[in-house]
Amino acid sequence: MIETKPARQDGPRDGCGLSAMPLFRALPATVRTELAAMAKPIRYARDETVFPAHVPQDHVGCVTRGVLRLEKLLSDGQQQIIGILVASDMFGRMFDGPLGYAIEAATDAEVCLFRRGPFEDLLGRSPELEKLVILNILNEVDAALEWVGVLANRKVSARAASFLLMLCRRWAAQTGALSLDHGRIEVNVPLRRHDLALFLGTRPETLSRAFHSLAEDGFIAMHSPYLFEIRDLDGLTRLSGQDYLSDTDPLLQLARAASNS
Amino acid sequence: MIETKPARQDGPRDGCGLSAMPLFRALPATVRTELAAMAKPIRYARDETVFPAHVPQDHVGCVTRGVLRLEKLLSDGQQQIIGILVASDMFGRMFDGPLGYAIEAATDAEVCLFRRGPFEDLLGRSPELEKLVILNILNEVDAALEWVGVLANRKVSARAASFLLMLCRRWAAQTGALSLDHGRIEVNVPLRRHDLALFLGTRPETLSRAFHSLAEDGFIAMHSPYLFEIRDLDGLTRLSGQDYLSDTDPLLQLARAASNS
DNA sequence: TAACGTCATTGACTGCCGTCAACCGATCCG
DNA sequence: CGGATCGGTTGACGGCAGTCAATGACGTTA
């Protein structure tokens, strides 16, 4: 049971820095202005609740910093984590009822909220925003389906490998958590083992063993429980089962960039 | 490896029986007419391919009969099933590129295809259709996330229970596969053990044991490998972990109806 | 009718993973 | 400085599930 602490609201209009977000970059200036005017930035400390489960919300939002987790509580008190949200991910349901899961801060995080009414109104007036929103939801579907594929994999080490690769891919779209210095790929994993284990459908002990086993086999190196280095991208990919590496894969480009630096 | 046989196309315009589909019932008559005019019904035999993976498609569609499976092929040749589609489910990607998985017929099935161009055009002209499509995709997200929750469960019997309940819920929306005669809930499972095991992230042998174990414990009865009877809805729900049964749950209503007949 | 293929089921065995427990390092606080 | 707490890791052990193999039921075909 995680208690809900009050969240701090702050800042002037467009404290969200919407104009800097790649998510909305493609929109016309007028739409961006209108969005920025209705954006409410809110910060959360780790384990605070953004949206409780099964409660109708009159906001939708997007993540600007940190990681959120989608969490389900089972009848026997067990919790499970069915998704994570990182910067640029949108959440909440326009036109629709309450969510079947809670959204909580997995790290200290910052989000940007929009009231549903004005947002849906703007949606109806801007075909660009509308297309962006539809594409965004389609990406959500893809991400969820990809994760179904990962969890359907029976071996924990394969799931762990898939997670690291997925994280690299997400971080690759932005800066900060992925470092390519000295020809290495270093990836920052901002989740506790406990949360990560729930997300991977296993337990912290087993996950720890899986990571250290990957390290012993030379696929990765762990510089701290939260800082991983990818030492064998191909091997890790093969082990994950998901055949990610087409020649156009952005992660592969990154790896090449890393080995050339 | 499943070979692609050519599919049979048939029938006059609106052979799909669009007007009878609950999916589109809420639309204005003019939109329904236009949709019906562009609908192409196609039938598939079991294991035929509807959309191959990673190939751009210029159609979207919806299922009118049978079950489709979303299938991923791993690098080592293992296949996994990451979703199923039943009547009224839509598939395909408007505004977007190719899918990362194949869509295949898990049973003999019939679908209704729309060319993407005209469909997207109609989407822009009909706010009702647009809202329907968005809500439909949101439901896809929910279904996928729910399945993530099921797969994150570590025990196969719990996953099997979740599957049966999910299937009841889906069948409840329509007629045919769910029978309530004689105060019983009988549910038809149209998938082979092999496919079902892949969908549940396990193996046919293990799944068979799980089902028979559920039967021994009195939760279900198996009248054939494809015909299940739910004997203890509450127990099955508790075992599945998902706390489905709110008082407004349509499945619970059905159970009450069954026990009163 | 017999041979064959498909598919579900069962058995035996092995191995991975969940569970319980202890340990350890880091951080915070008195 | 010493104790407490949190979170990650490691060890030991038992059980559940994956694997291989064989059997049986059913429908199809020759």
Interatomic distance B118 CA / C26 C1' (Å): 62
Rounded to an integer, the average pLDDT of B83-92 is: 95
Predicted TM-score (pTM) of this structure: 0.92
Residue B120 near chain A (CB below 8 Å): no
Helix, strand, coil shares of chain B as percentages rounded to 5?
A: 45, 20, 35
- Of A210 and A170, the one with more pLDDT: A210
Question: Residue A227, class by beta-carbon neighbours within 10 Å (0-12 exposed, 13-18 middle, 19+ buried)?
Answer: middle
What's residue A228's pLDDT?
97
Per-position b or e across A7-26, b if 16+ CB within 10 A of its CB: eeeeeeebbbebeebebbee
What's residue A178's pLDDT?
82
pLDDT at A3 over 50: no
Cα–Cα distances (Å) from B85 to A61, A133, A245, B43, B140, in that order, read 30, 24, 28, 15, 10
Question: Residue A193, class by beta-carbon neighbours within 10 Å (0-12 exposed, 13-18 middle, 19+ buried)?
Answer: middle
H helices of chain B, in order, are: 29-38, 116-125, 127-152, 156-172, 193-199, 204-216, 233-240, 250-260
Which residue of B68, B125, B142, B145 to mutate against A (max A Cβ within 10 Å)? B145
Chain B residues closer than 8 Å to A136 by CB: none
Gap between the Cα atoms of B30 and B24, Å rounded: 12
**Chain A residues 141-180 within 7 Å (CB) of strand D:** 154
**A61-80 residues touching B, CB cutoff 8 A:** 70, 72, 74-76, 78, 80
Which of A82, A96, A127 lies nearest to residue B152, judging by beta carbons? A82
Sheet holding A40-44, edge to edge: A8-9, A40-44, A109-115, A59-65, A90-91
φ, ψ of residue A214 in degrees (nearest 5): -60, -35
Single-letter residue type at A218: G
What's residue B172's pLDDT?
85
Gap between the Cα atoms of B76 and A155, Å rounded: 14
Give the DSSP H/E element, type plus range, for residue A227.
Answer: strand A227-230
Which residue of B72, B148, B196, B243 to mutate against A (max A Cβ within 10 Å)? B148
Rounded to an integer, the average pLDDT of B89-100 is: 91
Q: Quote the percentage of chain B above a pLDDT of 70.
A: 92
Q: Which of B30, B149, B226, B17 is nearest to A148 (CA)?
A: B149
pLDDT at B3 over 80: no
Range in A244-248, B25-29, B80-84, B123-127 with the lowest mean pLDDT: A244-248
Rounded to an integer, the average pLDDT of B100-114 is: 96
Chain A residues closer than 8 Å to B135 by CB: 95-96
Gap between the Cα atoms of B214 and B217, Å rounded: 5
What's residue A75's pLDDT?
83
Q: Quote the percentage of chain A above a pLDDT of 70.
A: 92
Q: Which nucleotides of D are covered by protein (CB under 7 A)?
A: 7-12, 16-21
